[in-house]
Amino acid sequence: MKNKNQLPALILLVIGLVVTAGGLFLFINRFVPMWSFSHKYMTDNAIFAMLGILGLFLGIVALLLARSLRKQGQEVPSDTLKQHMGLKATARISNTVIYVLLVIISVIWLAPFFCIVVQSFRVNPTGMTRYLFQNPDAALKEGLTIRFGLDNYRRLFAGDFPRWYLNTFIIAVVVAAVQTIIVLCMSYTLSRFRFKLRKPLMQFMLILGMFPGMLTMIILYQVLKDVGLAGANAMPGLILVYVASSGMGYYVSKGFFDTIPKSLDEAARIDGATRAQVLYKIILPLAKPIVIYTVLTAFMGPWGDFVFAKYVTGVTPEAWNVAVGLQQWLSTTTNISENYTMFCAGGVVVAIPVVILFMCLQKYYVEGVTGGAVKG
């Protein structure tokens, strides 16, 4: 039964788990290379490996302690009333602990976004600082004065950024439209039709998915360059590549179609509807959540794509998307000292519409993610 002793045991357990995992990690990370590969950092590795073993040991001790504490707690005899009160008190204490934990979690998760917004308004200095707001110590020691204003946003919209933004937006809209159609075609077919090549096709795509996608980038870039769709004209090329292989991401929506009862199709077929009519008139109206989910994820993808866009657009800034452009602002030390706050402003401008859209359609996203994971 639950008891007051439960709580320290639980805390000890968590600490024990964390320390054990940390120790294990340190040990593996330092011991194995020491023994097999490089001899350069022998002593360094040995110290860390020993630290890892120590952590492992301490963690296990903590775990054992937690266990014995829990057992002790269980063996304490108590009458019903006392037990009842104890339960209530434990519940209250554990709920308080949970609230504290949740607040800490929220702070950790929101802190970077808070910082990025604050820094996007900082005018001086434009580089990185260790301080978010004016810090008297720093002002004294490092001669650091921090001022705030809208300059970053003005600079942002005066430069290449609007171009990148437009590029990304156009790509995202087109990809969202076409990719949705392709994914739905694929998933609906694989969910509803039973044809000879269905299983082999699915297995084949599973195997294809195991190759790192990056591998094909080299040749796709060469081909796009030959056709004239790289560099300044990269947009159609990028769209083509994003969309073309999207059929392989059919899993989530196939899982959804599987849940729509087949009897609906059969009833309509008996009434004389063709397969195509079944799709347009019966399935599509029911599939609204998954359509929205697919559109949403397809729309969000290009905003974050960095590697392929960088590869294809190369050194022509007017063809970049936001990810490539903003990354470039942080790529060298000089760039950082000039553009760091502008990067923050750019990040805010990019994030706002996507976040708003996402928040509005959150329900569908959650459904898609949960459903997709459950069905594998």
Partner 1 sequence: MKKYSDLEYLKLSKWERFKYRFLSFFAAIPVAIGNLFLGIGKALKKAGLAVAGEAKDIAMTFVNGDWKTKLSYLFMGFGNIARGQVLRGLLFLLFEGVFIAYMILMGGGYLALLPTLGTKGPYQMTERIEFMPGRFREVVKTVTYADDPTIHNSFKILLYGVLTIFFIVAFLYTWRMNVKQNKIAEGILKSGKPLKSGKDDLRSLVDDQFHKTLLALPLTGILIFTVLPLVFMILVAFTNYSSGHNGGETGLFHWVGMDNFRTLFSWDVGGVNYSATFGEILLWTLIWAFFATFTNYFLGIGVAMIINKKGIRFKKVWRTVLIMTIAIPQFISLLYVSKMFTLNGLFNGFLMDLGITHTAIDFWGDPTLARIMVIIINIWIGIPYLMLIATGILMNIPADLYESAKIDGASGWKQFSKITLPYMLFITGPYLLTSFTGNMNNFNVIYLLTGGGPHVNLSNGAGNPGDTDLLITWLFNITQKGFGEDGAQYYLASVIGILVFIVVAFISLIVYNLLPSVKNEEDFQ
Site for partner 1 in 224-283 (CB under 8 A): 240-241, 243-248, 274-277, 279
Radius of gyration of the chain (CA): 28
Report the C-alpha gap between 328 and 217 in whole angstroms: 20
Report the C-alpha gap between 224 and 240 in whole angstroms: 10
CA angle 156, 123, 164 (to 5 degrees): 15
Report the C-alpha gap between 184 and 284 in whole angstroms: 10
Q: How far is the CB of 261 from partner 1 (least distance, A)?
A: 18
Q: How far is the CB of 158 from partner 1 (least distance, A)?
A: 21
Could you identify the residue written with the tokens 């190369």?
A: 314
Tell whether the torsion through CA atoms of 330, 335, 340 and 344 is positive or negative.
Answer: negative
Closest to 2 (Cα-Cα) out of 74, 95, 77: 74
Q: How far is the CB of 360 from partner 1 (least distance, A)?
A: 10
Instruction: Give the distance between the most distant pair of CA atoms in the chain.
Output: 84
Could you identify the residue written with the tokens 């360094």?
A: 44
Q: Count of H helices and E strands in the chain? A: 18, 2
Which window, 77-85, 254-262, 285-293, 366-374, contacts partner 1 (CB under 8 A)?
366-374
Q: How far is the CB of 358 from partner 1 (least distance, A)?
A: 4
Neighbours of 354 (CB within 10 A): 15
Interaction with partner 1 in 152-211: which residues (CB under 8 A)?
181-183, 185-186, 188-189, 193, 195, 205, 207-208, 210-211
Could you identify the residue written with the tokens 């729509």?
A: 260
Based on CB atoms, which residue is closest to partner 1, 23 or 155?
Answer: 23
Cβ neighbors of 191 (< 8 A, separation 6 or more) are: 254, 257, 258
Interaction with partner 1 in 311-330: which residues (CB under 8 A)?
322-323, 326-327, 330
Based on CB atoms, which residue is closest to partner 1, 70 or 155?
Answer: 70
Q: Which residue among 216, 259, 316, 332 contacts partner 1 (CB under 8 A)?
A: 216
Report the C-alpha gap between 295 and 246 in whole angstroms: 12
Based on CB atoms, which residue is closest to partner 1, 53 or 138?
Answer: 138
Based on CB atoms, which residue is closest to partner 1, 296 or 319?
Answer: 296
Which window, 18-26, 56-64, 149-157, 287-295, contacts partner 1 (CB under 8 A)?
18-26
The pair of three-digit structure tokens given for residue 180, joined into one six-digit string? 């949705």
Residue type at position 356 = I
With binding defined as CB under 8 A, does residue 27 bind partner 1?
A: no
Closest to 303 (Cα-Cα) out of 352, 268, 343: 352
Q: How far is the CB of 213 from partner 1 (least distance, A)?
A: 8
Q: How far is the CB of 244 from partner 1 (least distance, A)?
A: 4
Q: How far is the CB of 109 from partner 1 (least distance, A)?
A: 6
Interaction with partner 1 in 73-132: which residues (CB under 8 A)?
74, 91, 95, 98-99, 101-102, 105-106, 108-110, 112-113, 115-116, 128-132
Interaction with partner 1 in 295-314: which residues (CB under 8 A)?
300, 303-304, 306-307
Interaction with partner 1 in 329-358: which residues (CB under 8 A)?
330, 336, 340, 343-344, 347, 350-351, 354-355, 357-358
Interaction with partner 1 in 40-69: which residues (CB under 8 A)?
40-41, 48
Based on CB atoms, which residue is closest to partner 1, 140 or 215?
Answer: 215
Q: How far is the CB of 113 from partner 1 (least distance, A)?
A: 7
User: Angle 234-244/161-192 helices, nearest 10 degrees?
Assistant: 20
Based on CB atoms, which residue is closest to partner 1, 31 or 159?
Answer: 31
Exposed/middle/buried for residue 266 (C-beta within 10 Å: 0-12, 13-18, 19+): exposed
* Number of residues counted as binding partner 1 (CB under 8 A): 114
Q: How far is the CB of 5 from partner 1 (least distance, A)?
A: 11
Report the C-alpha gap between 373 and 376 in whole angstroms: 5
